[in-house]
A and B are shown apart, each in its own frame.
Chain A
């Protein structure tokens, strides 16, 4: 495909792979975390890890927006959908996330009207077409998605659509990175920064990671060569004794982000004092809520929300996987009780989740491991 093939060129990948190997100190182990679920997906799908020397380990972080939703918030969504006259709308992967009372799909089997949409603007259209129903958008996602929700609220206000509201679960990436860096379980050497989140927020918000923690961060694109080049840029920083924020994805990401989108976000949303992340626990100022001046579009004020905290299933180790402490296949229920068809944990639901990505595309890595054991 035009513009894409050049980012998947196997000869170029081999060249980059050799150059990365030359930059490696043989006795040092490098742990590089990618915080974006899209990167995790590319790494497994294209076997990026197999192009890296054995002492460079890619660790998967909490960047899948579905995976970080705690079970209690799923139950809250079902509670809204069970009210009379409500249509709940959400993105596709959210439909199968298990809560304490099952998933949205299972709730629909019991009679709720939960519909999959591609955009919050589609949810607004459903509200426009059903003036006698309450239409709620179950908003998830990082800073890539939050602007579309904000814009939808602005359009609802401009059009005077009053039967629309948002159950806001938008999260922000910087506090999650901070929580990981503060976690005693994990020692990291560098970050591959998110691509499309950075389209909105730019690269500047990551500068403290280099300044305060001395770690390189490279914002990366989503093709296999993007990721290899980003690892190369990180290794180059190590060999030159630098720790900086760099932008590999400059064909899309500008260093200052999108100022219009940032302004819309600041207008429509306010920071929550706390928000619970699956696996990471409660993190201060890490999520968005609808700002008071748009309170009439806030589903949490329009409906009574149970707000019950539900503990994760004991067998599930999504928390450790999300922090990068465990690899997906090290979880006790991976591939046996927990599969993409019958997920126990959220990491197995979305294809950007580390467990589902490994389950679907990890067979090559597994073959390699088997061969190593046999030899």
Chain B
């Protein structure tokens, strides 16, 4: 089963690394496929998450986006990291 990034992020709220949402931390993800206004995305550790894409316009598989709280807030250049 593919690890779920959202689940991992929610659990991370309880450990030393803290809550990535509260911490204004955004993560760089790669779009796998698009379903309506949502996109299934994957991070560099292979964890997946469905994110809303309305704020960054049309995306397609292979695009890189910066994601915060389940919403893509910016497009990234191919080699950029959000970390």
Binding site for B on A (CB under 8 A): 1-4, 7, 36-38, 41, 63-66, 91-95, 116-122, 140-142, 144-145, 147-148, 151, 154-155, 194, 196-197, 199-200, 221-223, 251-254, 258, 260-261, 264, 350-352, 356, 360
CB closest chain-B residue, reference A262: B55
A37-B23, A65-B22, A117-B10 given; 18 more Cβ-contact pairs under 8 Å: A3-B80, A7-B83, A38-B24, A92-B21, A93-B21, A116-B10, A119-B69, A120-B69, A121-B52, A145-B21, A145-B68, A148-B69, A154-B54, A196-B26, A199-B73, A252-B82, A261-B73, A350-B22
Mask, B1-33, CB within 8 Å of A = 1, is: 000001001101110111101111110100000
Q: List 21 A-B contacts (CB under 8 A).
A: A3-B44, A4-B44, A91-B22, A92-B13, A93-B13, A93-B19, A119-B70, A120-B69, A141-B22, A142-B24, A144-B24, A145-B24, A199-B74, A223-B81, A251-B80, A258-B74, A350-B18, A351-B17, A352-B22, A352-B24, A360-B16
Whether B25 contacts A196 by the Cβ 8 Å rule is: yes
Whether B81 contacts A118 by the Cβ 8 Å rule is: no
User: What residues of B have a CB within 8 angstroms of the CB of A116 in the complex?
Assistant: 10, 13
User: What residues of B have a CB within 8 angstroms of the CB of A117 in the complex?
Assistant: 10
CA of A352 to CA of B52, assembled, Å:
25
| Residues 40-82 of B at the A interface (beta carbon under 8 Å) | 44-45, 52, 54-57, 66, 68-71, 73-74, 76-77, 79-82
User: What residues of A have a CB within 8 angstroms of the CB of B14 in the complex?
Assistant: 92
Q: Given A2-B44, A121-B52, A151-B54: A41 and B83 within 8 A (CB)?
A: no
Whether A151 contacts B44 by the Cβ 8 Å rule is: no
CB closest chain-B residue, reference A8: B83
**B interface, over-half SS:** loop
CA of A251 to CA of B52, assembled, Å:
22
CB closest chain-A residue, reference B76: A252
Residue of B57, B71, B80 near A148 (CB, 8 A) is: B71
User: In the complex, how many angstroms separate the beta carbon of A142 from the nearest chain B beta carbon?
Assistant: 6
User: In the complex, how many angstroms separate the beta carbon of B14 from the nearest chain A beta carbon?
Assistant: 7
Whether A144 contacts B19 by the Cβ 8 Å rule is: no
User: What residues of B have a CB within 8 angstroms of the CB of A91 in the complex?
Assistant: 13, 19, 21-22, 69
User: What residues of B have a CB within 8 angstroms of the CB of A221 in the complex?
Assistant: 83
User: In the complex, how many angstroms separate the beta carbon of B76 from the nearest chain A beta carbon?
Assistant: 6
Whether B24 contacts A3 by the Cβ 8 Å rule is: no
Total chain B interface residues with beta-carbon distance under 8 A: 38
CA of A64 to CA of B79, assembled, Å:
28
User: What residues of A have a CB within 8 angstroms of the CB of B24 in the complex?
Assistant: 36-38, 63, 65, 141-142, 144-145, 194, 196-197, 352
CB closest chain-A residue, reference B12: A92
Which of B10, B54, B77, B82 lies at the interface centre, i.e. has the most chain A CB atoms within 10 A of its CB? B82
CA of A117 to CA of B70, assembled, Å:
10
User: In the complex, how many angstroms separate the beta carbon of A45 from the nearest chain B beta carbon?
Assistant: 9
